[in-house]
Amino acid sequence: MTAPDVPVVSLPWRVLDDYRCFGCSPHNPFGLGLEFAEHPDGIVTRFCLDRGYESYPGVVHGGLLGVVCDEAMGNLIVLRTGLVAFTTGMRMRYLQPILVGDTCTCVASLSSPESDAGLTSTRAEIFNGAGDLAATSSATYRRVPFSTTRDRISLGDEEADRLDRALTNTIPGVQR
Q: pTM for this one?
A: 0.90
pLDDT tens figures, 59-72: 999 999 999 999 99
For domain 12-162, is the CATH number 3.40.462.20? no
pLDDT tens figures, 32-64: 999 999 999 999 999 999 999 999 999 999 999
Distance of alpha carbon 17 from alpha carbon 55, whole angstroms: 32
pLDDT recorded at residue 175: 42
**Closest to 22 in 3D by CA, of 12, 32, 10:** 32
* Stretch (H or E) spanning 33: none
Cα torsion through 173, 142, 140, 104, rounded to 10: 60
**Alpha helices (H) along 22-120:** 62-81
Confidence of residue 174 (pLDDT cuts 50, 70, 90): very low
Instruction: Give the orientation angle of helix 62-81 with respect to helix 157-170, to 10 degrees.
Output: 70
pLDDT tens figures, 140-165: 999 888 888 887 788 888 888 888 88
pLDDT recorded at residue 90: 98
Distance of alpha carbon 88 from alpha carbon 76, whole angstroms: 15
User: Given a cut of 80, is residue 110 above it in pLDDT?
Assistant: yes
Contact 135, 61 (CB under 8 A): no
pLDDT recorded at residue 113: 64
Confidence of residue 3 (pLDDT cuts 50, 70, 90): low
Q: Among residues of the chain, what percentage have pLDDT more than 70?
A: 90
Distance of alpha carbon 58 from alpha carbon 91, whole angstroms: 24
If you compute the radius of gyration of the chain from its CA atoms, what whole number of angstroms results?
16
Euclidean distance between the first and the last CA atom of the chain, given in angstroms as a whole number? 31
Confidence of residue 79 (pLDDT cuts 50, 70, 90): very high
| Partner residues linked to 51 by β-bridges | none
Half-sphere exposure of 160 (CA within 13 A, CB side): 13
Q: What are phi and psi of 13, to 5 degrees?
A: -65, -20
User: Given a cut of 60, is residue 2 above it in pLDDT?
Assistant: no
